[in-house]
Amino acid sequence: MPVSKPRVLLVGGQFTGNFCARDLKKHFHVTVVDAKEYFEYTPGVLRAYVKPCHLDSLTFTLQPVLERSMGVKFIWGEVKNLDGDRKTATIKTIFSSTTDEISFDYCIICAGCNFGPFKPMGESLWFPTIHEEARKVSDWPHIDERFIEGRRRHVLEEFHKLHDLNKKKASILVVGAGFIGVEWATEIEHFFPDTKMTIIDFLPRCLGPLPDSAAGYCSEYMSAVGIKEFYNCKYDPKSDAFWKGIELPEKADVEYICIGVKASNYFMPKCVLSDKGPGGGGWIHFNKYMQVVKKPTEGGDVWADGKIFAVGDCNLGCIGEPPNFEMPPIPKISYPGEEQALHACVNLERIHKNKSLKPTWWPWGAGMFATSLGPHDACFVMAANENKGSGYMVNWWIPAALQKEVIETSKIDECRNGCMGILIWHFVHHTPVHLFGKGPWIP
């Protein structure tokens, strides 16, 4: 009798989940589970709030792509618990009031993270509210963003809110001048020019650790379009002195918090989650082979026989303790997650074939940042690393804006299993030479 293929469970249907599904489907029975019914290109969602029709180009429903095009299984539901000893996942499917349990041989966690560090469950505009416990404390409980139509309703609500703010020439404060804050402030200014925009940060300039050339370019753009900037500034909304210091004595009409990230690994046991890190901890510990491990206070041993991997934004992002990192912190952006997904897929196959594992590295793509300045301007940085001010601004103005459009369009096409996107991004992730990053010269 033929031997059945091993079963692989992928937790999350965004960039890394789709990437792993396509990479593993030939040799494994792959199942993708996601709490929402659609894929969303998170780096482009800011544009959708100011131009709602853009959402259509950023999203697609997962089931037709995963099941009909890729040929893998899709479960629309939320993983409530992952049992490493029994190799089972407890899942609450979309229309069920009870949970089901499915077993697997291997698992890759691609669950991402949230972006609202001051919210109890990390809720923000940048990622849909899809987890059961998060919906209970949501600021928009009337909207169910597990459905693509619910996500569209939320986008339209925020658009009309901004439209009304523009009509009354309201003041808007953006807290955080990293690349998300800068993009959000410039998008609002371009599409709603009658609003009075202010952006602040506790650092001495915008774009945090990126090179001075990029920070200077973005700051010059914001100054030219009338966005007020205040740096070395601590956010303290209860202080009258704070508001006077940023020239808003009557306070802002609306505030948008664009700082930090927060873990959303609610389904994982505490023994593998960090006690510290961005947003108060809760990130998955992993080793140089991308396997989930127990936290140092629990011994740091490999968890679940090394058959469960954590890739991308859900993991701690670094290995070791400062200043002696085995792998320095990696930015929580999409490219490094996909690179780690490739490394996890390679090691998953090697475990199955009883071969020695290959270590991961600080990926070269973690040093690339494309920052939009409205729809017609941008800057692109590459070769950045964990050191402050590293990297080079190699593209800017309209060419950089066009480059970001090409990245967005081709990446979404790849995630939809489109031919052109796969051809482009296959060679990006399988480049034979690493000119920067911490990888081997020839991987």
| Per-residue pLDDT reduced to its tens digit, 222-241 | 999 999 999 999 999 999 99
Q: At which residue do the structure tokens 């774009």 appear?
A: 207
* pLDDT confidence tier of residue 430, bands split at 50, 70 and 90: confident
Q: What is the mean pLDDT of residues 329-341?
A: 89
Q: Is residue 123 pLDDT above 90, yes or no?
A: yes
Q: Is residue 68 pLDDT above 70, yes or no?
A: yes
Say what the pLDDT of residue 441 is: 58
Angle between helices 334-352 and 15-24 (to 10 degrees): 30
Question: What would the two tokens of residue 392 be?
Answer: 């080079």
Q: Is residue 1 pLDDT above 50, yes or no?
A: no
402: Cβ contacts below 8 Å, ≥ 6 apart:
none
Q: What is the mean pLDDT of residues 250-270?
A: 94
Domain boundaries, the chain: 1-168+260-360
Longest pairwise C-alpha distance within the chain: 78
Q: Is residue 4 pLDDT above 90, yes or no?
A: no
Q: Is residue 326 pLDDT above 60, yes or no?
A: yes
Taking CA atoms, 45 is separated from 42, 50, 54, 57, 438, in Å, by: 5, 9, 8, 10, 30
122: left (phi over 0), alpha (psi -120 to 50) or beta: left
CA nearest to 277, candidates 319, 235, 311, 310: 319
| Per-residue pLDDT reduced to its tens digit, 144-186 | 999 999 999 999 999 999 999 999 999 999 999 998 999 999 9
| Per-residue pLDDT reduced to its tens digit, 349-377 | 999 999 999 999 888 888 889 999 999 99
Segments in 168-254 forming alpha helices (H): 179-191, 212-224, 240-245
Identify the three-state secondary structure at position 139.
coil
296: left (phi over 0), alpha (psi -120 to 50) or beta: alpha
Residue 188 and residue 199 in contact, taking contact as beta carbons nearer than 8 Å: no
**What share of the chain in percent tops pLDDT 70?**
98
137: Cβ contacts below 8 Å, ≥ 6 apart:
119, 120, 121, 123
Say what the pLDDT of residue 248 is: 96
CATH architecture of the domain with range 1-168+260-360:
3-Layer(bba) Sandwich (3.50)
44: Cβ contacts below 8 Å, ≥ 6 apart:
54, 57, 58, 408
Q: At which residue do the structure tokens 């209860």 appear?
A: 238
Q: Is residue 310 pLDDT above 50, yes or no?
A: yes
Stretch among 94-108, 165-179, 202-216, 418-432 having the lowest mean pLDDT = 418-432
Say what the pLDDT of residue 429 is: 78
Say what the pLDDT of residue 307 is: 96
**Spatial separation of the C-alpha atoms in residues 83 and 76, rounded to whole Å:** 19
Say what the pLDDT of residue 443 is: 44
Q: 3-state SS of the chain: helix, strand, coil percent to 5?
A: 35, 20, 40
